[in-house]
Chain A
C-alpha cells in the first residue's frame, strides 16, 4: 500500500508540469498583458512598458519564460540565478509589485501566524464550512432516507433544493440583510476576523452548496443500500436497528459521499471569489480570479497549480479513506 501511495505522489510531478504547460500556453494566447490596466486608469506608456517587460523577463521568447518559471533563470538585474517552481518559487506578482506569489498566498502580516495569510484564511473558512456541511448534511441525508416521505424528508429535501438552486451571491446578500441589517446579530463589515461570529455567515453560505449536495447524495445512496439483501439478512438475524444502520448501511452508503467530499474540500479551501467579495473576506479566492482578468501570469499559474495540488491530494486521501470504509477495496494491483 505504501508503494501505491509513493507512486501516486510521484505521479503528481508530471501532472503539475503538464497543467503548468497548458495553463501557460492558454494564458499567453489570450490578448493583452499585465500592463494593460483597467481602461479608466492611465495606461502605462511604451517606454515604461519596455522597462517592465525587461525587468520581469517578459521580453524573452515564450519557451524561455516557461523554463524560467519552472526551473529558473538568470535575473536581469542582479545577474544571479533565480530558481523557479522546482524550488517552490511561484514567481513575482505583476500587479502587487514587490511581492512574490508565495508571499501573497502564504505570508502572514507582520507578527501574526500562518493562519492569517490569505491561504490561511481560506483554509480556515474552507474547513469550517466543510465541517458544517458534513455535520449537518450527512445526518440529514440519513434521517431523510430512514424516514422516507416523512415531514423531515420533505423538509431536508426542500432545504437541499434551495441550497443547490440559489446562487451563493443571492444567498449571501439575503443572509446579510436578515442577520446584519435587520437582526443586528453580526455587522455587515466585520470589525475583526478574530471574532467567531464573523465567520458564521461566510462559512454557512460557502458550505451550503456542499451541504445540500451531501444531503441528497447520502439520502440517495442510503435508500439504495436499504433495499439490499444483506440489510434484510441483518434485520432477519435480529440485529439491533442501530447496528444495522451504523455498521451495515452507513459504511456502504458513504462511499459515494466520501468521493465527492475530497474535491469539495479542495474547492472550499482554495477560496471562493463570491464569498470573499460579498463578505470582504481576506482569502485567496479573489486573488485567484482577478489575476485572470489582470493577466497576472505568475499569479494565474501559481494559484492554478496550488488548486491542482489540493485536488490531487484530496483525491489521494479519498482513496485512502476507501480502504478504511470498504474492506473489499484493495489498493494493490
Chain B
C-alpha cells in the first residue's frame, strides 16, 4: 500500500511538472564512474609539439549532459571529470596501458610496510598562468577532499589516509579529528622542514600516512580528488566558484577559456604544460538527445560523438560511417545480483543453478546487439587481475536443472518449491526504462525456458531503484548492477567492492575468509605475490557463486577521419583518447 502511495505521489508530482513541458524525461546518457586520468604522452621527451602540425584545429566533442558540478573535490560523474581532467593533473596519471606513471610528482616511495607514501614533485612546476605549483597545493586539495565541510561525493576514496574517515564523517566538534589529518597529509621541504606557503619553491614533498598498508595509493593519487584547484580562487569565488572559467587555473594540458553553463566549454592548449603542448583547441558540446547528436555528427558539426546502440545498425550498414565507428572494451562489469540473505538465493545451490541457466553469449548477441562481451568473472579483460579462461557456472541448462533437483528443490506450475515444501516467489526488480524492460523480459523468459520458474518482473522508477538497491534491508531479491573501475588495481575491484561492509554489503555478501585474503593482498608489497593473492581472492569469490557475472561493457565512439592518433584505453571517458590528449592530431576537415 505504501508503495502504491509512493508511486502515485511520484506520478502526481511528475505530471504537475510535465503539464508545462508536454513530455516525459528521457533517460539521460548514463555516465559511469570511471576516474579521471590526466592525460599525457608516454614521456616528456617526445611531446607532439616537436613536430608542430601546420594546421591548428579544434576538436569538437559531444560530452552529453552538462556537468552539475565542476569542482575537483566534489565531482563524481563522468561528464564532470571529462572537463576537470583537461584542466588539472594529479600527482600521478595513467598511461595508455593503464600503468601508473609520474605526473606532477616525478617519483614516489613507500616505507617498509607501505603505511607511508612520500611524493616528490617535479622541479619548476607551474600553473597555466605561470604561478608556482608546489606540494602545499596538493596538501590543500587532499585536506579539502577529506574536510566534511566540502562533503565531496567521492571523499571516501582517500579513506586509507589515517584519520580521514573519522574527520570526513564528523558533524560536530571536529577539531581533534581535523588535527590528525593535518599531520597525516603533510607537505614539506625535502629535508622535512615545514613549508611556508604556496610561493615556497623548496616545498616539493608530500607525505601521506595510512591506517593500514596501502601499496596501491600512488594510483589513487591520479584521481581528480587530488587536482590542485587554487585555494584563493575557491575561497574568493564562493561555493559556486567553478562556474567561472577564470577560476579554473590548472596544471593540465588545456586551459579553460570559456564556460557557458548548459551550452559549451572551450579549452585552449596550456602553453606551459610540462609534458608538451596539445596541437589543437578543444570544444565540448552538451547534446543529450542521441538522435540530434548523431545528426550533428553527420553534418560535420562534431568530430567525436558517442555511438548509441539504436544507431548501430544504421552505422554498420553505411560504407562511410562504418569506418568511423570505434568499438572497444570498457571498464565496467555487470552481474545479476542475488540477495544472499533472502530466500531462495541464501542457498548457494540456487545461485549456481541460476548462473548455469544464463546464456551470456546469447545475451550479448540478442540483447546487447554485440555491444559488450560476456564474462564469467569480475575483473574485466584489459585490467590487472583479469583471469583468462574462467569457466565456472557457465551456461549449461542440464546442469542448471540437475543442481536445483540435487539441492532438494522442485518446480511445480512455474513455482519454485523449496526443500521444506514451501513455494518461494521470485521477483526481478529493475529501473523502468524501455531498454531495461526488454533486457529483463529476455532474462525472465530464459530462466523460464531452462528452469521452468515464473519470475515476476518489478519495474520501479530510476531513483527509487537506486534508493532500494543501496540498503541491505530494501535491496531486491535479484537485480542487475555493475561496477566500473575507479582506478586500474585489483584492490579497487575486489577489496573496495567485496570486503564485508563495502558495496557488496547491499546484497548481504560477507565472507570472512575472503576478507582475510584481501587484507593480506592489500598490504602485500611484492607485486607478484600481491597479484597472486588477488587471483586467489577472485577465485574464492567466483567459487561461492554469489552473483551471476554476466558481461563487460564496450566504449563506442564515432570519430571523423581527420582526427587521428587516438590512444584508446578501457578507462576513456567523455571521449575516445581522452587519457592521452597530447598524442591526438586534428587535421583539416575534408568535406
Contact A103 B240 (CB under 8 A): yes
Q: What residues of chain A lie closer than 8 Å to B22, measured between beta carbons? A: 168, 209, 267, 272-274
A294 within 8 A of B: yes
Closest to A28 in B: B9
Closest to B240 in A: A98
B512 within 8 A of A: no
Contact B33 A42 (CB under 8 A): yes
B152 within 8 A of A: yes
Task: Bits for B25-40, please: 1 = Cβ < 8 Å to A, else 0.
Answer: 1101011110000000
A233 within 8 A of B: no
Q: What residues of chain A lie closer than 8 Å to B32, measured between beta carbons? A: 40-41
Q: Which of A30-38, A79-87, A245-253 contacts B (4 or more CB under 8 A)?
A: A30-38
> Once the chains are docked, how many angstroms separate the CA of A52 from the CA of B14?
25
> Once the chains are docked, how many angstroms separate the CA of A42 from the CA of B9?
27
Separation in Å of the B59 CB from the closest CB of chain A? 15
Separation in Å of the B580 CB from the closest CB of chain A? 24
**Segment 30-65 of A: residues with Cβ below 8 Å from B:** 30-33, 35-48, 50-52, 54-55
Contact A38 B169 (CB under 8 A): no
A277 within 8 A of B: yes
> Once the chains are docked, how many angstroms separate the CA of A54 from the CA of B260?
31
Contact A266 B16 (CB under 8 A): no
Q: Which of B69-77, B103-111, B438-446 contacts A (4 or more CB under 8 A)?
A: B69-77
Q: What residues of chain B lie closer than 8 Å to A255, measured between beta carbons? A: none
> Once the chains are docked, how many angstroms separate the CA of A280 from the CA of B33?
24
B97 within 8 A of A: no
Contact A277 B289 (CB under 8 A): yes
What's the A-B contact tally at a CB cutoff of 8 Å? 229
Q: What residues of chain B lie closer than 8 Å to A97, measured between beta carbons? A: 68-69, 71, 74, 239
**Segment 138-187 of A: residues with Cβ below 8 Å from B:** 167-169, 172-173, 176-177, 180-181, 184, 187
Interface size class of A (residues with CB under 8 A): 35 or more
Q: Which of B280-288, B364-372, B377-385, B389-397 contacts A (4 or more CB under 8 A)?
A: B280-288
Given contacts A51-B151, A97-B74, A173-B291, contact A272 B260 (CB under 8 A): no
Closest to A41 in B: B33
Given contacts A45-B156, A51-B168, A99-B240, contact A285 B6 (CB under 8 A): no
Q: CB within 8 A of A47: which of B156, B262, B466?
A: B156
**Segment 251-288 of A: residues with Cβ below 8 Å from B:** 266-267, 270-274, 277-280, 282, 285-286, 288
Interface centre among B20, B77, B288 (most CB of A within 10 A): B20
A20 within 8 A of B: no
Separation in Å of the B161 CB from the closest CB of chain A? 14
Interface centre among B12, B18, B33, B68 (most CB of A within 10 A): B68
> Once the chains are docked, how many angstroms separate the CA of A280 from the CA of B238?
28
Given contacts A38-B31, A188-B295, contact A47 B165 (CB under 8 A): yes
Task: Bits for A7-31, please: 1 = Cβ < 8 Å to B, else 0.
Answer: 0000000000000000101110111
Given contacts A42-B33, A188-B301, A274-B22, contact A110 B10 (CB under 8 A): no
Given contacts A277-B26, A282-B261, contact A39 B287 (CB under 8 A): no
Q: CB within 8 A of A36: which of B33, B68, B288, B467?
A: B467
Interface centre among B5, B22, B482 (most CB of A within 10 A): B22
Closest to B288 in A: A277
Q: Which of A129-137, A218-226, A300-308, A317-325 contacts B (4 or more CB under 8 A)?
A: A300-308
Q: What residues of chain A lie closer than 8 Å to B9, measured between beta carbons? A: 25-27, 29-30
Interface centre among B9, B78, B260 (most CB of A within 10 A): B9
Separation in Å of the B555 CB from the closest CB of chain A? 14
> Once the chains are docked, how many angstroms separate the CA of A55 from the CA of B148?
9
Q: CB within 8 A of B19: which of A42, A172, A176, A267?
A: A267
List 17 additional contacts besides A180-B295, A290-B25; criterion CB under 8 Å: A26-B10, A31-B6, A37-B466, A38-B466, A39-B465, A39-B481, A42-B486, A47-B168, A48-B151, A168-B22, A173-B291, A187-B296, A273-B22, A273-B25, A280-B292, A293-B463, A307-B17
A-B contact pairs, 5 of them (CB 8 A): A38-B31, A39-B465, A42-B76, A176-B295, A293-B463
A residues contacting B by CB (< 8 A) are 23, 25-27, 29-33, 35-48, 50-52, 54-55, 77, 95-99, 103, 109-110, 118, 167-169, 172-173, 176-177, 180-181, 184, 187-189, 193, 209, 266-267, 270-274, 277-280, 282, 285-286, 288-295, 300, 303-304, 307
